[in-house]
Chain A
């Protein structure tokens, strides 16, 4: 289920370059050996948590992300319940050991914002109106972070929702593109994200051609931005194939073979 066979540079290797120009060499090769339009190696697995109603695990580069989904069930606390639809309670959370310097487990402002935009990226895909007064809980745990965790979190969460048997219009898949070393590049890893010029995370419903998350920070001309969005959507489409595979292989692993 790998997106590509190229291995990233040695695990744990510290990238010290602080200059954006050095992020991509003259041949267009990035610090971790990728081309500009290449995804990091990706691995996805569905149904990894026995207790959760649905779950999924994803590795993308050195990102390691686990998502558990519960519900739909009675909304708690009661006042969050909506009379005409289900609510999604989404928590994006980074483990204290997920980054170089220990992160406090208390939710940061970034965590609060990401929980919100991820929820809004997933909501268009779910038939919330089928289950009034209930809640669907989506717990995203970043076990290890290496740039692009919000996108990877969305891709994983969509798998976990599908695994939970929650009716969905489409899967949601997310990928970022950005500008690093003066070039538009796909799926920025941590160093590229921090040192690079811009990051454009995009979430996408492939069958419905709908963008459900779009953010940007940095500095891009309108043309560069359009290139980045198209490149990100291209990345989404590749990741979608891996998502599909992961869902289907879960079916096979349950001992069910197609006749």
Chain B
């Protein structure tokens, strides 16, 4: 556990600066850190991407497998998102099965992709009720310097855009690979932006030090039409007022459009 005395001093400094609209690293309240995206970093994966958001670093690998569809959706492929907070990424991460932070991260990323219908899962059905493709999205946090949600969602989107499906034919109910690839069928490009509340100020793209002192966070995921497809409040024992929520959604409309250009063109 981080010593609270350090955090108190930090909190004071961060809050004082924010009152004047400034942040410790000189950014404006709605500025993101530098974003670097590399696609296809893992050759053995069907799709992959590495995202660096300042010093936060995430790799997402996409693997395509096969499986049986869920009984209530016999004609659609399956999406599963998993997140690992591997111990090398931060002294506060411990080995072992995913804890609540990892589970929440995975589910927020999952919800953005699923609810925006980013992947055309109906095209991933091989045989109704029997055989479909399964898209495994594995989020791997390599260095934690704050705002894991936005970085992971960007990396997941970049990896999905990068994903290649092998061509195949079906012979006697079995998939036979053919030479050549097609891109994963995509319908939308969801982008998540996470606001942190510190004092009575909202800021975007928190660094780790800001995250340690924030009262609460609010993640808004928007699709390409500027509609909201997922929201998650979390990150501490604070709250948002109704007005702050409206303000955040307004900023999110512009910010997600801006970030989408950065992620999808890569």
Within residues 68 to 86 of chain A, which ones have a CB less than 8 A from any CB in chain B? 82-84
Within residues 186 to 239 of chain B, which ones have a CB less than 8 A from any CB in chain A? 216, 218, 223, 226-239
Q: A112-B103, A113-B104 are in contact. Are A215 and B232 (CB under 8 A)?
A: yes
A219: Cβ under 8 A from any B Cβ: yes
A205 touches B233 (CB 8 A): no
| Residue from the list B235, B249, B253 in contact with A226, Cβ < 8 A | B249
Within residues 38 to 79 of chain A, which ones have a CB less than 8 A from any CB in chain B? none
Q: Is the interface of B mostly helix, strand, loop or mixed?
A: mixed
Closest Cβ neighbor of B215 among chain A residues: A124
- The CA of A115 and the CA of B107, in the complex, are separated in Å by 13
A120 touches B233 (CB 8 A): yes
Q: A128-B237, A210-B239, A226-B249 are in contact. Are A200 and B231 (CB under 8 A)?
A: yes
- The CA of A215 and the CA of B112, in the complex, are separated in Å by 12
A211 touches B233 (CB 8 A): yes
Task: Tell me which of A84, A113, A124, A233 has the highest count of chain B C-beta atoms within 10 A of its own C-beta.
Answer: A113
| Residue from the list A83, A110, A211, A217 in contact with B239, Cβ < 8 A | A211
Contact with B along A226-259 (1 / 0, CB 8 A): 1001100100000000000000000000000000
- The CA of A200 and the CA of B231, in the complex, are separated in Å by 8
| Residue from the list B100, B103, B228, B253 in contact with A220, Cβ < 8 A | B228
Contact with B along A94-134 (1 / 0, CB 8 A): 00000000000000011011011100100110001000000
- The CA of A117 and the CA of B234, in the complex, are separated in Å by 6
| Residue from the list B104, B111, B116, B233 in contact with A214, Cβ < 8 A | B233
B241: Cβ under 8 A from any A Cβ: yes
Q: A116-B100, A124-B239, A210-B239 are in contact. Are A109 and B226 (CB under 8 A)?
A: no
- The CA of A6 and the CA of B115, in the complex, are separated in Å by 33
> What's the least CB distance linking B104 to chain A, in Å?
5
> What's the least CB distance linking B76 to chain A, in Å?
14
Q: A210-B239, A211-B245 are in contact. Are A222 and B227 (CB under 8 A)?
A: yes
| Residue from the list A113, A222, A229 in contact with B242, Cβ < 8 A | A229
A225: Cβ under 8 A from any B Cβ: yes
A221: Cβ under 8 A from any B Cβ: yes
Within residues 1 to 55 of chain B, which ones have a CB less than 8 A from any CB in chain A? 1, 4
Q: Is the interface of A mostly helix, strand, loop or mixed?
A: mixed
B230 touches A211 (CB 8 A): no
Q: How many residues of A contact B (CB 8 A)?
A: 37
B4 touches A220 (CB 8 A): no
| Residue from the list A124, A128, A219, A229 in contact with B245, Cβ < 8 A | A229
- The CA of A120 and the CA of B218, in the complex, are separated in Å by 12
Closest Cβ neighbor of B81 among chain A residues: A109
Closest Cβ neighbor of B220 among chain A residues: A216
A213: Cβ under 8 A from any B Cβ: yes
Closest Cβ neighbor of B218 among chain A residues: A214
- The CA of A123 and the CA of B1, in the complex, are separated in Å by 19
Q: A205-B239, A225-B249 are in contact. Are A120 and B216 (CB under 8 A)?
A: yes
Task: Tell me which of A82, A84, A217, A233 has the highest count of chain B C-beta atoms within 10 A of its own C-beta.
Answer: A217
Closest Cβ neighbor of A117 among chain B residues: B234
B115 touches A219 (CB 8 A): yes
- The CA of A117 and the CA of B101, in the complex, are separated in Å by 11
B115 touches A120 (CB 8 A): no
Q: List 28 A-B contacts (CB under 8 A).
A: A112-B100, A113-B107, A115-B100, A116-B100, A116-B234, A117-B104, A117-B233, A200-B231, A208-B239, A209-B241, A210-B240, A211-B233, A211-B242, A213-B233, A214-B231, A215-B233, A216-B228, A216-B229, A217-B111, A219-B115, A219-B116, A219-B227, A220-B228, A220-B229, A222-B228, A222-B253, A226-B249, A230-B242
Extra inter-chain contacts (15) besides given A209-B242, A222-B253, CB under 8 Å: A109-B98, A109-B107, A112-B104, A113-B107, A117-B104, A123-B236, A200-B231, A214-B218, A214-B232, A214-B240, A219-B229, A221-B227, A222-B249, A225-B228, A226-B246
Interface residues, chain A, with chain B CB atoms under 8 Å away: 82-84, 109-110, 112-113, 115-117, 120, 123-124, 128, 198, 200, 205, 208-222, 225-226, 229-230, 233
What 4 A-B pairs come out closest when comparing CB atoms? A123-B237, A216-B231, A210-B239, A214-B233
